[in-house]
C-alpha cells in the first residue's frame, strides 16, 4: 500500500507540475502523510520531484535568467531555513487555512481581472510573495503557488515562465533538501520509496511535456490560476 501511495501520486504530481509549472508537492501531500510524518512527507515529496525538475529546467534552460531568480531565491531560502524548524511550535492548521484563503482570493482576482498579472508586481508585493512562499515551503514543502504568480508576471512566453520557475525550484530543492537532511528529517531508509517515486514522476513529466509544448502562455494562464484556487481550497479543507 505504501508503494501505491507514493507511485501513483508522484506520476500525477509531475503531470500537474509539467503543465502548470508548480503544484507537485500539493498533490503528494494529499497522500504522503498517510505513510510518513508531515515534515518527512514534505521532504520526500521535494526529493521525488528532483529528476523531473531537472528535466523541466534543462528543457527550458535557454529561457532561464539568473538575474531574475537570484534575489527571490535568497529571500525565499532564508525564510524557509528558519521556518523548517517551526512545525512543532506554530499552529500549522491555522496557518494553512490563512494561506488557503489568500490563494482562493488571488485565484478569483486573476481569473476575473483581464489585466492582472500582465505587469511585474511592486517590490513590496513581490517581497511578500517570496516571504510567504519560503515560510510555507519550510513548514510543508509547499511554496509554489505565489512564486508561480511572481514569475508569471515577469514572463512574456511560456518558456520564460517555465524556465525561471523550474530553475528556481531546482535551486530550492537542492538547498532545502540539504537543510532537511542536516536536521534529520530525511533519512537513508526513505531512499527506496524516493527512487520509485522519482521514476513515476519522470514518466509524468514526459507526458506533460508533450501536452504543454502545444500551448502558448495565454492558454496556460487559466489553468495556473484555477489550480492556485484549488490549492487554496485544499488548504482550507485539509
Whether the Cβ atoms of residue 46 and residue 20 lie closer than 8 Å to each other: no
**pLDDT for 149:** 85
To the nearest whole number, what is the mean pLDDT of the chain? 83
Helix (H, G, I), strand (E, B) or coil at 36: coil
Residue 166: pLDDT over 80? yes
Distance of alpha carbon 202 from alpha carbon 162, whole angstroms: 17
Buried b (16+ CB within 10 A) or exposed e, 76-98: bbebbeebbeebeeeeeeebbbe
pTM of the predicted model over 0.75: yes
**DSSP conformation letters of 11-28:** HHHHHHHHHHS--HHHHH
Greatest mean pLDDT range, 16-25, 40-49, 58-67, 140-149: 58-67
Higher-confidence residue: 20 or 79?
A: 79
Whether the Cβ atoms of residue 40 and residue 18 lie closer than 8 Å to each other: no
- Domain with 28, as residue range(s), is 4-237
Q: In the predicted model, what is the mean pLDDT of residues 191-206?
A: 91
Whether the Cβ atoms of residue 15 and residue 200 lie closer than 8 Å to each other: no
- Per-residue pLDDT tens over the stretch 53-102: 888 899 899 999 999 999 999 999 999 888 877 765 667 677 778 778 87
Q: In the predicted model, what is the mean pLDDT of residues 200-220?
A: 79
The Cβ of residue 17 has, within 10 Å, a number of other Cβ atoms equal to 30
Domain count, the chain: 1
Residue 219: pLDDT over 80? no
HSE-CB of 60 using CA atoms within 13 angstroms: 29
**What proportion of the chain, given as a percentage, has pLDDT over 70?**
93
- Per-residue pLDDT tens over the stretch 110-161: 777 656 556 677 888 889 989 988 888 887 777 787 888 889 888 888 889 8
Amino acid at each position: 500500500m505504501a508503494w501505491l501511495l507514493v507511485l501513483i501520486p508522484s506520476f500525477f504530481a509531475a503531470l500537474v507540475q509539467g503543465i502548470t509549472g508548480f503544484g507537485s508537492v500539493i498533490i503528494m501531500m494529499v497522500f504522503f502523510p498517510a505513510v510518513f510524518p508531515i515534515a518527512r512527507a514534505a521532504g520526500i515529496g521535494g526529493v521525488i520531484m528532483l529528476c523531473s525538475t531537472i528535466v523541466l529546467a534543462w528543457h527550458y534552460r535557454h529561457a532561464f535568467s539568473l538575474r531574475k531568480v537570484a534575489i527571490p531565491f535568497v529571500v525565499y531560502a532564508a525564510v524557509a531555513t528558519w521556518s523548517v524548524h517551526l512545525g512543532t511550535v506554530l499552529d500549522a492548521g491555522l496557518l494553512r487555512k490563512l494561506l488557503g484563503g489568500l490563494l482562493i482570493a488571488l485565484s478569483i482576482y486573476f481569473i476575473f481581472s483581464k489585466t492582472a498579472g500582465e505587469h511585474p508586481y511592486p517590490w513590496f508585493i513581490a517581497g511578500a510573495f517570496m516571504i510567504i512562499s519560503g515560510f510555507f515551503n519550510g513548514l510543508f514543502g509547499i511554496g509554489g503557488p505565489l512564486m508561480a504568480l511572481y514569475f508569471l508576471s515577469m514572463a512574456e512566453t511560456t518558456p520564460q515562465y517555465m524556465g525561471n520557475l523550474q530553475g528556481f525550484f531546482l535551486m530550492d530543492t537542492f538547498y532545502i533538501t540539504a537543510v532537511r537532511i542536516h536536521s534529520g528529517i530525511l533519512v537513508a531508509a526513505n531512499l527506496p520509496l524516493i527512487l520509485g517515486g522519482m521514476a513515476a514522476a519522470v514518466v509524468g513529466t514526459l507526458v506533460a511535456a508533450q501536452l504543454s509544448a502545444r500551448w502558448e502562455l495565454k492558454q496556460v494562464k487559466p489553468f495556473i490560476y484555477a489550480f492556485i484556487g484549488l490549492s487554496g481550497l485544499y488548504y482550507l479543507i485539509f
